[in-house]
């Protein structure tokens, strides 16, 4: 019989400790040339991003987006993403996931002021989002600000995501996060959500 040695002084005896990381990333998943190719796919199809959940501050988000769906011209993007998602999930999160059902969101943050204030990607009445993903499409030397911050513990000390060109970062969709205001240049990213059954 296996003995649980997680006894904590004070009478608390957890069944299992949480050992899942706050995030995982894949450096240079896409080359700079591939990043530019992705941007060109949607650059002429951008529309203002909307917020679908109720929020008193209507200025929470300033960006433009377009949707990239799976087709013969975009198959290569989905293939790369799915390979990385499955690998990172198996190594770090081990969530029960079933696919990318919402397409890919190409997001454009202009200066000055392009941003998305603190929020989470999960909400009632939408598909069950398990993991959120962001690919850095812009050379970090070409803009200032626009940091992807993840609030994984101390609200005053968020984790600032790697800005390396082509890097993909995954994090649980219940994680509080933000994109700070772009102060110079422009920031492009590819955003997506990996769905699955309800958390149990």
Host H or E run for residue 85:
helix 75-88
Is domain 24-53+65-195 annotated with CATH 2.60.120.620? Answer: yes
Q: pLDDT tens for residues 46-103? A: 888 766 555 555 689 999 999 999 999 999 999 999 999 999 999 999 999 999 999 9
Instruction: Please list, in sequence order, all residues whose beta carbon lies within 8 angstroms of the beta carbon of residue 3, skipping any fewer than 6 positions away.
Output: none
Q: Residue 92 burial (CB < 10 Å; 0-12/13-18/19+)?
A: middle
Apex 119 CA angle, 118 and 121, nearest 5: 150
Confidence bin at 174 (pLDDT 50/70/90):
very high
Cβ proximity of 63 and 181 under 8 Å = no
Structure-token match 């904590």, residue found: 8
Q: Is 107 helix (H, G, I), strand (E, B) or coil?
A: strand
Cis peptide bond N-terminal to 21, omega within 30: no
Instruction: Please list, in sequence order, all residues whose beta carbon lies within 8 angstroms of the beta carbon of residue 80, skipping any fewer than 6 positions away.
Output: 29, 30
What does the DSSP 8-state code read for residue 199? P
Q: Tokens in use for 16?
A: 């299992």
- Domain chopping of the chain, boundaries: 24-53+65-195
Q: Tell me the sheet residues that pair with 48.
A: 64
B/e letters for 15-29, b = 16+ CB within 10 Å, e = fewer, are eeeeeeeebbbbeeb
Q: pLDDT tens for residues 175-199? A: 999 999 999 999 999 999 999 999 8
Structure-token match 């030397």, residue found: 141
Q: pLDDT tens for residues 14-33? A: 778 788 899 999 999 999 99
Tallying the residues shown for the chain, one arrives at 200
């Amino acid at each position: 019989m296996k003995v649980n040695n997680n006894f904590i002084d004070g009478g608390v005896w957890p069944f299992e400790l949480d050992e899942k990381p706050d995030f995982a990333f894949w450096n240079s998943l896409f080359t700079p040339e591939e990043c530019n190719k992705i941007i060109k796919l949607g650059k002429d199809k951008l529309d203002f991003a909307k917020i679908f959940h109720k929020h008193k501050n209507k200025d929470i988000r300033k960006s433009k987006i377009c949707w990239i769906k799976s087709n013969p011209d975009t198959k290569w993007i989905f293939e790369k993403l799915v390979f990385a998602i499955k690998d990172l999930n198996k190594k770090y999160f081990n969530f029960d996931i079933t696919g990318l059902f919402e397409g890919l969101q190409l997001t454009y943050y202009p200066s000055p002021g392009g941003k998305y204030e603190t929020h989470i990607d999960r909400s009632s009445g939408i598909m069950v989002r398990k993991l959120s993903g962001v690919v850095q499409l812009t050379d970090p030397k070409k803009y200032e600000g626009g940091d992807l911050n993840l609030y994984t513990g101390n609200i005053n000390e968020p984790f600032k995501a790697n800005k390396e060109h082509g890097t993909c970062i995954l994090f649980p969709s219940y994680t509080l996060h933000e994109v700070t205001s772009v102060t110079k240049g422009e920031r492009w990213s590819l955003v997506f959500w990996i769905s699955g059954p309800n958390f149990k």
